[in-house]
Chains A and B, each alone.
Chain A
Amino acid sequence: MPKDHGIGASSKRREDVRFLTGKGQYTDDINRPGQAFCYFLRSNVAHGTITSLDVSAARDAKGVVGVFTSKDLEGLGGIPCGWEVTDKDGAPMKEPKHPILAEGKVRHVGDPIVAIIADSLAAGRDAAELVELEIDELPAVVDMREAIKGGTVLHDVAPDNICYDWEFVAENKAAVDEAIRNAHHVTTLELVNNRLVPNAMEPRAAVGEYDAGRDEYTLWTTSQNPHVIRLLMGAFVLSIPEHKLRVVAPDVGGGFGSKIYHYAEEAFITWVSKRVGRPVKWNADRSEAFMSDAHGRDHVTKVELAMDQEGNFLALRSSTLANMGAYLSTFAPCIPTWLHGTLLAGNYKTPLIFTNVKAVFTNTVPVDAYRGAGRPEATYQLERTIDKAAREMGIDPVELRRRNFVKPDQYPYQTPVAVIYDTGNYDATLDKALELADVRGFAERKADSAARGKLRGLGIANYIEACGIAPSSLVGALGARAGLYEAATVRVNPTGNVSVFTGSHSHGQGHETTFAQVVADMLGCEEANVDIVHGDTSRIPFGMGTYGSRSLAVGGSAIVKSVEKIITKAKKIAAHLLEASEADITFANGQFTVAGTDKAIDWGSVALTAYVPHKYPIDDVEPGLEETSFYDPANFTYPAGTYVCEVEVDPDTGVVEVQSFVAADDFGNVVNPMIVEGQVHGGLAQGIGQAILEGCSYDENGQLLSASYMDYAMPRAADLPMFVVDHSCNTPCTHNPLGVKGCGEAGAIGSPPAIVNAVIDALSAHGVTHIDMPLTPRRVWEAIRAARN
């Protein structure tokens, strides 16, 4: 019987009631008395020097409250970067200033130059047309391969446009080179991991308000981590101490990484609310989102995989150019390095790995983490290269993968790229996926497709990811300028119901449901008696927020720790009330009982006693029932799995249709199978989007060609097959109390190589060996035509 309650139950998402009935409170739903509106005038050229800027006519325009340029912001900091990567020669990365408003130069289309505060958005837009702005346009550089030649330089501190030149594992370099030189066979693949626009359903927004009476600021903002924003913005940009700054991330309509970062707009809105003495709102329109939300991916990579005669992997060498865009976004430097290089072992026991990553400034929107962040790029290059190797070696791609798997008896497994996998079973998910995909029946389906003039292909990809980010001491050593623990306060109220205050932030993940399931399970109470509070720095403890599939593994663990402390304290109170020894008290199903007797007391009585401590062990225990915990994980978690898909290609048009998709994931223990399945579906949709539809495109002048949904193709329901999702092969995480690994990103990580491998399988008879994503009809048709010719 499936559970209907607590851990393991598919409890319905309680938050959906308000989302689906229009009762959600998103940032744009927040309106403050006397509120003014902000409009940002942005650069329409990719690179240029501001030679003249006159805002006097705009200032005098009707309905205008204030007009601001970088000159008005003197004394404020730039937008900080939260991670420092060290160059191969030991020097710190190049870290150019990222001003709130452009200082003398613009560096990408969408770079904000002037901010106009007005009584209405329309008045602000009208005034923007009165700004007299002259930009002396400079040549733009968009292609990283061009950028690293120098010539066109974005920042004086980086004359070759290289932010850092990183090597990992440096000590392996010579051995890797030698293994590749001497190998029986080396498979080489050059590929592009395409730039993506995150496209959260809710565009970014901010409302700033200053309370002059209390000298306090409040910022409502679309964030995945309000405490991080408060810290970065307060300490590094605006010099506002934490106790005078409240940051609220209310209901947030999707993030996918793009709402982790501290953005210029929210800092400006906070600052200007004091300056103009009125609350100020800014809400990005979709066009602004395209040119100002941090983009994702954008790697150009060359991979070489060395093998012996049997196909055993001997060494992997990879070199990547990673686009940073025009400025460093908050966590940009760590994505192509520590979230990418450390995953290059994949599910395999490749003994020697070396990678070189050059991070490159270009005249494009900044790039940062997007669902998966570094791990999709690592997985894609591995799984594409292995597929190519299998063809070149004449070995079945399943067999080649299996032969090189880390095996279940090898855990904990020390990879050659620093991380230690605690547990896993890659054969199990591979077998399960092959079974569910009915791989045996593929030949028949391929023949059926051929009879209809279609080319059918089967694609397989394994993935592993490092989630549950992250042990603070480890990431500190790697350059993080923050810890990555999570915090939770559990407050049992006097009548026994429970308020949980978590540093995690839900922007679609269903934490309000899942976390309540965990607490209810531990306390033996109804889920409805547990409320989850998140997103408001004035209510929640200092926590690090939600990204990297960390919420349950890290935030959930902090909650578990607090509940454990609550139970320990409650047992003391129960022992006193029951006049028994604390050691004899057992707690189950919401009842405290004295072992071996029928003496019992219920949860509510103990909770009430904690707050009405008349008969109370006051010498041993303080009144109240509230505990706070900070959980710092001992290791990353390592979700892994196997994806198998089939595609049909129309050779006349190049159209790729995904016919079936099987995802066999090992997420460790699962708290809510329905929510996990939903997370996988969403990830797969984004991964399939990356593989066949989504491609952010700039022209050579740095103009964003895919600047709206007219040209940027998002996946629609009709683009997706019915997904088959399985979690039966789970190996619980060994180092967190729930045994959970995280499920938010897997779908987006494992699916692009599975899809591309399937398309290449379909086209292999035509001699096609690789196509760069997205596999649009045009590209597929051109690849077929080129191979035929």
Chain B
Amino acid sequence: MYAFDYARPASLAEAIEAMKDEDAKALAGGQTLIPTLKQRLASPTTLVDLNGIAEIKGICLKDGMVAIGAGTRHAEVADSADVQRLIPALAHLAAHIGDPQVRNRGTLGGSLANNDPSACYPAAVLGLGATVHTSAGRAIAADDYFQGMFETALGEGELITSVDFPVPEKAAYMKFVQPASRFALTGVFVAKFLGAVRVAVTGASESGVFRWPEAEKALSANFSAGALDGVALGADGMIGDLHGTPEYRAHLAGVMARRAVTAAG
């Protein structure tokens, strides 16, 4: 770890001010940033710790949607009675990220800002068509937010404040874990809304989380696992590494999608 200055703003306004230093880094749950710092792979001038900002924490219901503060930890989402009642698939997803230590530190905002291609949350945000609210006062649709591996629509110093999740009729997330890291080797979030189905795939693509239009179309017509017979994802652009070839990941997306549809009921 290199030396850095440490700031712990008590309000979003102070945080926005602190983030004006272009070499500042925001610290949310620290589940990616802290290991990166320890390995000397990042050298921010200032670490802006967001953990003291009450206004970006917590879960509430807003206009029929579930609004989750960016600073809310995975364990809080998993344990929330509102989330469990309205979007059980989201509670389930949060309950299966990493291990208890990760879930009690990691935050929704941190995960989305980092946009790791193997993270779980991006699948839920994209699969549910959520809206990402930011410190710049922007409301960014999920379809516009994710812009590639570790790339997002966030501007310089812009912080996520909360995410609004629409409530689907039914939804499920199925994750095939990478055997070592237990990140998603391929995870699929399926959500059925009135008149439309959204399918988001994480872990598989070199471009990060993505929607699978052919699967959405098939499931919109007939929301059953069998509707996906003959719907196959191409291997082009999928990640190939020690744990899976592009073909394997593409195949897993199909298997996980079918299982998610079945689990959604």
Contact = CB atoms under 8 A, between A and B. Distances in A.
Are A and B genuine complex partners? yes
Interface of A: 122, 125, 287, 652-653, 693, 695, 697, 705-706, 709-714, 776-778, 781-782
**Residue picked from B176, B242, B244, B255, most chain A C-beta under 10 Å:** B242
Given A693-B179, A709-B181, A778 B248 contact: yes
Given A653-B255, A693-B179, A122 B1 contact: yes
A267 to B, nearest CB: 27
B252 interface: yes
B40 interface: yes
Nearest to A692: B179
Interface string B228-265: 00000000000000111100100110010000000000
Contacts of A782: 245, 248
B194 interface: no
Contact of A125 (B40, B176, B243, B251): B40
Nearest to B40: A125
Contact of A709 (B180, B242, B244, B245): B180
B255 A712 contact: no
B248 to A, nearest CB: 5
Contacts of B179: 693, 713, 776-777
**Which 3 A-B pairs have CB atoms at the shortest separation, nearest pair first?**
A713-B180, A713-B179, A710-B181
B173 to A, nearest CB: 16
A781 B1 contact: no
Nearest to A710: B181
Contacts of A705: 242
A653 B252 contact: yes
Given A693-B179, A713-B180, A776-B179, A706 B242 contact: yes
A778 B181 contact: no
Nearest to B243: A778
Nearest to A714: B180
Contacts of B244: 777-778
Contacts of A713: 179-180
A697 B242 contact: yes
A710 B176 CA distance: 15
Interface string B137-153: 00000000000000000
A518 to B, nearest CB: 41
B248 A711 contact: no
Contacts of B248: 778, 781-782
Contact of A781 (B39, B40, B251): B251
Contact of A776 (B39, B181, B243, B252): B243
A714 B244 CA distance: 17
A267 B1 CA distance: 28
B185 to A, nearest CB: 8
B181 A653 contact: no
Contacts of A714: 180
Q: Chain A at the B interface: mostly helix, strand, loop or mixed? A: loop
Contact of A653 (B1, B39, B176, B243): B176
13 contacts: A122-B1, A653-B176, A653-B255, A693-B180, A709-B180, A710-B181, A776-B243, A777-B176, A777-B244, A778-B243, A778-B244, A781-B248, A782-B245
B176 A778 contact: no
Contacts of A709: 180-181
A86 to B, nearest CB: 38
A777 B248 CA distance: 9
Contact of B181 (A652, A711, A777): A711
Interface of B: 1, 39-40, 176, 179-181, 242-245, 248, 251-252, 255
Nearest to B249: A778
A540 B251 CA distance: 60
B198 to A, nearest CB: 23
Contacts of A710: 180-181
A525 B103 CA distance: 51
**Residue picked from B40, B248, B251, most chain A C-beta under 10 Å:** B248
Nearest to B255: A652
Given A122-B1, A711-B181, 6 more contacts: A287-B39, A695-B242, A706-B242, A711-B180, A776-B179, A782-B245
Contacts of B39: 287
A601 B120 CA distance: 74
Contacts of A711: 180-181, 242-243
Contacts of B180: 693, 706, 709-714
A709 B248 CA distance: 22
B260 to A, nearest CB: 13
**Residue picked from A287, A781, A782, most chain B C-beta under 10 Å:** A781
Contacts of A777: 176, 179, 244
A776 B244 CA distance: 9
**Residue picked from A287, A697, A782, most chain B C-beta under 10 Å:** A782
B45 to A, nearest CB: 17
Contacts of A712: 180
A742 to B, nearest CB: 31
A778 B179 CA distance: 10
Contacts of A778: 243-245, 248
A243 B243 CA distance: 52
A122 B252 CA distance: 44
Contacts of A125: 40
**Residue picked from B1, B179, B180, B255, most chain A C-beta under 10 Å:** B179
Nearest to A650: B255
Nearest to B38: A285
A128 to B, nearest CB: 10
B186 to A, nearest CB: 10
A126 to B, nearest CB: 8
Contacts of B176: 653, 777
Nearest to B180: A713
Nearest to A712: B180
Contacts of A697: 242
Contacts of B242: 695, 697, 705-706, 711
Contacts of B40: 125
Contacts of B245: 778, 782
Nearest to A655: B176
A131 to B, nearest CB: 14
A778 B251 CA distance: 11
Nearest to B258: A652
Contacts of B252: 653
**Residue picked from A777, A778, A782, most chain B C-beta under 10 Å:** A778
Contacts of A781: 248, 251
Contacts of B255: 652-653
A564 B180 CA distance: 51
A697 B241 CA distance: 11
Nearest to A129: B40
Nearest to B185: A777
A697 B244 CA distance: 14
A706 B244 CA distance: 14
A652 B259 CA distance: 11
A697 B40 CA distance: 24
A319 to B, nearest CB: 28
A697 B251 CA distance: 24
A777 B252 CA distance: 11
Nearest to A699: B242
Contacts of A693: 179-180
A712 B1 CA distance: 24
B264 to A, nearest CB: 18
B68 to A, nearest CB: 27
A706 B243 CA distance: 10
A781 B242 CA distance: 14
A628 to B, nearest CB: 48
